[in-house]
Amino acid sequence: MAFELKNLSYKFGALEPYIDAQTMEIHHGKHHAAYTNNLNAAIQGSGIENKSIEEILSNISTHPVAVRNNGGGFYNHNLFWEVMAPGGAKQPEGDLSKAIVASFGSYQNFKEAFTKAALTRFGSGWAWLVKQGDGLAISSTPNQDNPLMDLAEVKGTPVLGVDVWEHAYYLKYQNRRPDYVEAFFNVVNWDEVARRFKG
């Protein structure tokens, strides 16, 4: 059973002016498509073809590096597209909001810590909001690693992630990663983040 590249639930230009249509089209149609195709090639004949991506990632240290890189890229981008949406709530609400306040003191503290994780990730990688039991933590990972992986420094279930590979922002923001991360908060789909938190 091959993994498939899902269509976006919104148009490529739907997140403008924060994330431009050309970046979305290349990011989804080229980068994410390549991770998907390369993952399928990497697991062919390996005996793990019928496992879920979450199962594969939870034991990633036992698999070849091609599975780690492309499996992470496949999973991370699926989450990334879903935790963004045009015109969503500007801040989390309900149980998610309470958990953020309990874990970080305030939404503003969370935003600052998440931004710092994104900006201090050297080179390519991701910043994450991670569910751990009833609480939340913030982490960042290199390359296409994520908190589901058995070798992650901070383990848990990712509920929000921002891609800080240059291909995610360079056409519009060039080397201005801080501007891109600030813009990202304008398109976070807090309803989806809350759904993943309830999980």
pLDDT score recorded for residue 1:
58
Q: pTM score, two decimals? A: 0.97
Instruction: Determine whether 40 is exposed, middle or buried from the number of CB atoms within 10 Å of its CB (0-12, 13-18, 19+).
Output: middle
Task: Report pLDDT for 19.
Answer: 98
pLDDT per residue, tens digit, the chain (199 aa), is 589 999 999 999 999 999 999 999 999 999 999 999 999 999 999 999 999 999 999 999 999 999 999 999 999 999 999 999 998 788 999 999 999 999 999 999 999 999 999 999 999 999 999 999 999 999 999 999 999 999 999 999 999 999 999 999 999 999 999 999 999 999 999 999 999 999 8
DSSP class of residue 5? P
Gap between the Cα atoms of 25 and 15, Å rounded: 12
